[in-house]
Every structure is written in structure tokens, then in C-alpha cells.
Amino acid sequence: MGKNAFMWATKSLIIFQKDVQLEFRTRFAINAIVLFAITTLTAISFSIGPARLETTILSALLWIILFFSAMSGLSHIFVREEEQQTADTLRLVTTPLSIFLGKWLFNVVLLFALEIIIVPLYFILMNTSQSAGNNFLLFLLLLFWGSLGLATVSTIIAAIISQASARGALFAVLAFPISLPVLISSIHGTRLALEGNTFSECLPDLQILIAFFVVILTVSILTFEFIWKSN
Amino acid sequence: MFKIKASGVTKKFNERSVFKNIHFEISSGQSLAITGHNGSGKTTLVRIISGLMSPSEGSVKFYKNDNAIEPENVHSFIGLVGPYLQLYHNLTALENLTFFSKIRGLGANRSRILELMALMGLKGRELDYVKNYSSGMLQRLKYVFALLHEPEILLVDEPTSNLDEAGSAIVYNILKRQKESKILIVATNNPEESRIGQKRIHVGD
């Protein structure tokens, strides 16, 4: 078991490295998600002007931007393999589990990288720095677990839609209902964090986010082989 | 000693049956030619044998010294060349082959890659992007990819597709060596190439 786990981890990392290398060459996903996020953030910032929005709206805006950015870019990870006919080559050389874990890791890192750019901009452009000062650590914790859930949902849905013909529309349509628990808890928890609430007040939201992540990752690992070999 | 045993392999797409009830058995040191006209299902059968597609009925089983090989481990023993297998066009040939070598657990294995590139007449083109390769060079590169791990079972779909005379000669040499001690399966509609196989299956009729 230990040897197998090490082998999967190693192969997943090799796939992750290959995807990073390809992404830096083509910039399909990076361009899509960064441009979407910055454009949306800037448009909202111009429309609200110097006004300060309610934390309820601010937290929802952040997660809407993150959700649609994820929808615009994270599906590339599998769609690219199918469109360029490299999926069969990949099927031939390694196990479905290592492919899923490598692709999942790539989407997680990509979403975190986006947040490193977007979150500071969000605080500056939305004039939220003062209210967030009290519980920034809690905010980061919610962002971490919410993003893990979002990246995992995006990865498994990307694998499903890569086998379909109407890929673009199908991704958001399938991902939205499955991501709903993440979005609701993340928006609620982020609002509490922005209002400076304590860890214990945010605990139910964090519990939902962690539980959701564990469940969706487990379900994804169990079902991926069937999805990946469904031809 | 490796063995492949296919029993009652049938493939249907919706209600249309591509082929029915195919049986064969092939061991190390033997070769099989799959023949048939365009659209007869040669590629479908190769994809089923290689595990890229599931049969509608029947099974293909692999054995090593009479012990069944687990389906998840079969890919370690198979090398496949086919028109539907593509390499990453935005990576160089060397980057592609290094990736596939690492993922097969062979490490970077640069000397083996360079040796096979030279064998296939691609010496000096290792650092070119695959998107800049011609169709003939791509076919040669697919052989390098398939032979990297010295597979016990080599499946070749349209062996000399896009190759010039020199490329075809190299390929025939590789196929000849493969069938001496390992398993070779060739799918072709070229009568000359079908003679490579000691056993033959005709699909589509």
C-alpha cells in the first residue's frame, strides 16, 4: 500500500509538472481565469466608485468572481487532452488515479495562484481593508478550504464534460449545483470573517467546507476511472 | 513468456455491430495481423486489445508465465503506435519522451531516448517542437514513444502510414525483431504488411 501510494504520488507530480510546462507555453487557462477575474473586479470597482459595500455583498462578490473564474479556466485541464488527442496516449501509460491527482493538483495550484493576485486587488479595489483587519486569518482559512472544494468540483466536472460535445455550457451547468454547498458556506463564512467574528462563530461553515472537500475528493477518486474509461 | 487470449470479443456502437465473436490466442515469439477494409473495425479491435476501449461482449486477458496480469498493470507491457495517439505538440520531442519515460517509471532515460531517436532517423531533431514535425516524422516519433520501455507486446495500427521508403524499412526491421521473441500485433489493409503476421484475423465480413 505504501509503495503504491508513493508511486501514485510520484506519477501525479510528473503529470502536474508536464501540465505546468504546457500551461506556461500556451497560457490557455492562466489567461482565461486571470483576465476574467481582473476584468470583473475592475468593472465592479468602477461601478461602485468610492462607496463601501455591505459585507454581505462583498463576500458574495468575491466568491462569484472566484467561481466564474474557475468555470472559465479550470475545465481546460481535461478538455485540452481530448481536443489534442493526447488523452488516449495518457490512458496508455499510467493509471487513472495518478492522472486525476495530477490534474487536481494543477487546478488547486492554479486557483491558489489566481487568489494571490485577486485577493489583494479585491481588498484594495473594494475598500475592504479596514473591516478585514480583525480576522484576516479566518478569511484565509475559509478561502483555503473553499478553494480546495471548488478546484476539486471543477476537476471532476472537467473530466466528465471532456467526454461530451457541448463542453462550454455544460461545465457551468453541472458545476453550479454541485458547488452550491461550497459557495453558500464560503460566502456566509467570508461575511463573518470580514465583520471580524471569531473562529468559533465560523466553525459550522468551516466544518461544511472541510466535509464537502473530503466527500467530493473521495467520490471523485472512486468515480474517475469509470469516467476516464467511459468510451 | 507472455500470452494474450481474446474470447468472444464483440463490439457494437449503439445497435450497429462492428464485429462479432472474435477469438484468438497469441504468445511471445508470435505475431498476429488484423486485416480488413476501411471501416471494418481493425482500429476498434486494436483499441480493445490495448485497453483503450471496452468490448461490448467478451474479454481480452493477458498472462505472464500463465499468471493473469491485473488490468491496471497491463499498460506497463504494451507499446502502441496508431494514428489516434498524439504526443504533446507544444512540447519538444525530448520533453515529450522524457515525460513518458518518467511516467513509465524509467526515469529521464536520456541515453535510451537519444538511441531510439537516432534509430528512427530523428537525430538532431530532439529539441524541435512536435508541432513543427512533418507527418512522417511524427509517425517515426510515435515508434520511439512505443518502444521506450521495450514492450513485451507491440501493437501497430497502420505501421507505415505517412512513412517514406527509408522510414518503412526501419519500421519493418523493428517489427521483425519484435516478433522474434515478443508479441507483435499489426492492423493493416496492405496485403504486403499483413504477411508480417503468422496468424491472421480478418474483420468486417
ipTM score of complex? 0.91
Residue B101, H or E segment = helix B93-103
pLDDT at A213 over 70: yes
What pLDDT is recorded for position A51?
Answer: 80
Min mean pLDDT across A3-7, A83-87, B112-116 is at A3-7
Residue A83 touches chain B, beta carbons under 8 Å: no
Asked whether residue A104 carries a pLDDT value surpassing 70, the answer given is yes
> Considering chain A, what percentage of its residues have pLDDT values greater than 70?
95
Secondary element (H or E) of residue B169: helix B165-181
The H-assigned helical ranges of chain A are 2-26, 28-48, 55-73, 76-83, 87-93, 96-125, 129-132, 136-161, 167-194, 199-228
Inter-chain Cβ pairs, chain A and chain B, closer than 8 A: 59
- In this prediction the pTM is 0.91
User: Are B103 and A93 inside 8 Å of each other by CB?
Assistant: yes
In this complex, do B75 and A229 lie within 8 Å of one another by their Cβ atoms? no
Confidence of residue A223 (pLDDT cuts 50, 70, 90): very high
What mean pLDDT is reported for chain B? 93
A92 shares contact with chain B (CB less than 8 Å): yes
* Residues of chain A with C-beta less than 8 angstroms from the C-beta of B85: 85, 88-89, 92
Q: Residue A15 and residue B100: Cβ atoms within 8 Å? A: no
Find the angle CA(B141)-CA(A77)-CA(A179) to the nearest 5 degrees: 165
- Interface check for B99 against chain A (CB to CB < 8 A): the answer is yes
Residues 6+ apart with CB under 8 A from B9: B19, B21, B22, B23, B45, B48, B55, B57, B58, B59, B60
Q: For position A214, what pLDDT does the model report?
A: 97
Smallest Cα distance from A146 to chain B, Å: 31
Residue B50 contacts A, CB cutoff 8 Å? yes
Position B184 scores a pLDDT of 96
Buried b or exposed e, range A45-64, using 16+ CB within 10 angstroms: eeebeeeeeebeebbbbbbe
Kindly indicate the confidence band of residue A130, based on its pLDDT and cuts at 50, 70 and 90. Answer: low
Contact A88 B78 (CB under 8 A): no
The residues with which B201 forms a beta bridge, in sequence order, are B34
Nearest in space to B80 (alpha carbons), one of B133, B43, B107 = B43
Total H helices, total E strands in chain B? 6, 9
Q: Which residue has the higher pLDDT, B57 or B72?
A: B57
**Left (φ > 0), alpha (ψ -120 to 50) or beta: where does B31 sit?**
beta
Q: List, for residues B127-167, the tens digit of each pLDDT value.
A: 999 999 999 999 999 999 999 999 999 999 999 999 999 99
Catalogue all structural domains in chain B, each as residue range(s) with its CATH number.
Answer: 2-202 (3.40.50.300)
Task: Give the residue with greater pLDDT, B58 vs A52.
Answer: B58
CA geometry: angle A90, A95, A97, nearest 5 deg:
110
Q: Tell me which of A92, A224, A226 to substitute to probe the interface with B (most B C-beta atoms closer than 10 Å).
A: A92
Residue A181 CA to residue A144 CA, distance in Å, equals: 15
End-to-end Cα spacing for chain A = 29
Could you report the per-residue pLDDT of A52-83, keeping only the tens digit for each? 888 899 999 999 999 999 888 888 899 899 88
Confidence of residue B201 (pLDDT cuts 50, 70, 90): very high
Residue B112, C-alpha cell as written in the block = 535510451
Q: Contacts of residue B72 in chain A, CB cutoff 8 Å?
A: 95
B119 contacts B170 by C-beta, under 8 angstroms? yes
Cell readout for A44 is 465592479
Rounded to 5 degrees, what are φ and ψ at A25?
A: -75, -45
CA gap A31, B93 in Å, rounded: 26
CB B203 within 8 A of CB B36: yes
Phi, psi of B129 (to 5 degrees): -65, 145
* C-alpha dist (Å) from residue B46 to A48, A61, A170, B34, B106: 61, 51, 32, 8, 25
The CA-to-CA distance between both ends of chain B, in Å, stands at 33
Comparing CB atoms, the residue among B53, B75, B99 nearest residue A14 is: B99
pLDDT number for residue A231: 62
Identify which of A24, A187, A92 has the alpha carbon closest to the alpha carbon of residue B86: A92
Chain B residues with beta carbon closer than 8 angstroms to that of A231: 52-54
Nearest CA to A223 out of A96, A107, A102 is that of A96
Whether A167 has a pLDDT exceeding 80, the answer reads no
pLDDT, greater one: A189 or A129: A189
Q: Which residue has the cell 486494436?
A: B46
Q: Which three cell numbers stand for residue B189?
A: 489493409
Asked if A93 and A60 touch (Cβ cutoff 8 Å), the reply is no
pLDDT higher than threshold 70 for residue A96: yes
Per-residue pLDDT at A103: 96
With left for phi above 0 and alpha for psi between -120 and 50, is residue B183 left, alpha or beta? Answer: beta
A26 and B54 within 8 Å at the Cβ level: the answer is no
Q: Does B108 touch chain A (CB under 8 A)?
A: no
CB contact at 8 A, B196 and B31 = yes
> Is residue B49 within 8 Å of B6, Cβ to Cβ?
yes
Contacts of A150 by beta carbon, 8 Å cutoff, 6+ apart = A66, A67, A70, A111, A179, A182
pLDDT per residue over A192-209, tens digit each?
999 888 899 999 999 999
Residue pointed to by grid coordinates 519538444: B92
Give residue A147's identity as a one-letter amino acid code: S
The pLDDT, as a whole number, for residue B14 is 84
Phi and psi (nearest 5°) for A165? Answer: -90, -40
Yes or no: say if A193 and A65 are a contact pair by the CB < 8 Å rule.
no
